[in-house]
Structure 1
Amino acid sequence: MKLQLLRPGKEIPPQTHPFFSDLASCGFPSPAQDYVESDLDLHDYCIRHPSATYYLRASGDSMSDGSLFNGDLLVVDCAEKPQHGDIVVASLQGEFTVKRLLLRPRLILQPMNAVWAPIYPDPNELEIFGVVTHIIHRTREMY
């Protein structure tokens, strides 16, 4: 998976949009209610540590079974401590990759596509550059 680094905008004023408190049923439709709970700023929602957060554009299909697709925008937080099961941006021998981090029973960078083989890195050679906290993808291809 190739990655393209994107930088957050500087001093962007809040961009809030209506946030409806009703849940959208993914099963049978429910009656719609016109009740706006509050305004939502996606920056505030997606970014916990602004000075330690960056964006990447993903390329490739090694994580497609995990709903991470070619062209998706990744929100990556360097201040988060990687935990078992997190999706991380990692570097092995100077090459970057995005994979699910498994810490037990042994260290594995696990792709989420059966076509790709797991990576069993030497812990001394693995460098984690951040935890993917959000995946943003378009439902219509616009590239």
Structure 2
Amino acid sequence: MKEKRISFGQGKGSLTHNNREFMADNVDPLRTPQNITFVRQPIGEAYDQLFAESTQRYNAKQKRNDRKVHGSYYEHLFGVKPCNTVRTAADKRKSFYEDVVQIGKIEDSGYGTEDFQLVADCLKEYNRRFPESQPQLLRF
């Protein structure tokens, strides 16, 4: 195996692309059955998992109805129902962030290369340990 570098980047964030509901020009549709899906959770469910309990506690403390969060927390922040594209709030917060982890380059680690399976196994192990090492982040 050649020496590899691990790189981290922040993607634009498109759930339709990640879930292969939309095929970009650079995606080989014959290889998509080989895709590995670690987690696939609708963003609305992810927000409910993270914020439903705290939103209920917040609403219970409010005396005035106009200060309560009506609907989901996602809708409260972004003014729309949950969707598969990144939304940006007035204060520049985004509805989600996409972080991309890559080991090696496509030329020496991509599909069909000698190191492909080893790199895939490393990424699977990274994903398995991610919740332990980054408990403040949620994969969805």
- Whether the TM-score (by the shorter chain) exceeds 0.5 is no
- TM-score range for the pair, normalised by the shorter chain length: under 0.3
| More strand per residue | 1
Q: Which has the larger radius of gyration?
A: 2
What TM-score, normalized by structure 2, do the two folds share?
A: 0.21
Q: Normalised by the size of structure 1, how large is the TM-score?
A: 0.21
- Greater helix percent: which structure? 2
Give the number of the structure with larger relative contact order, counting CA–CA contacts within 8 Å between residues 6 or more apart.
2
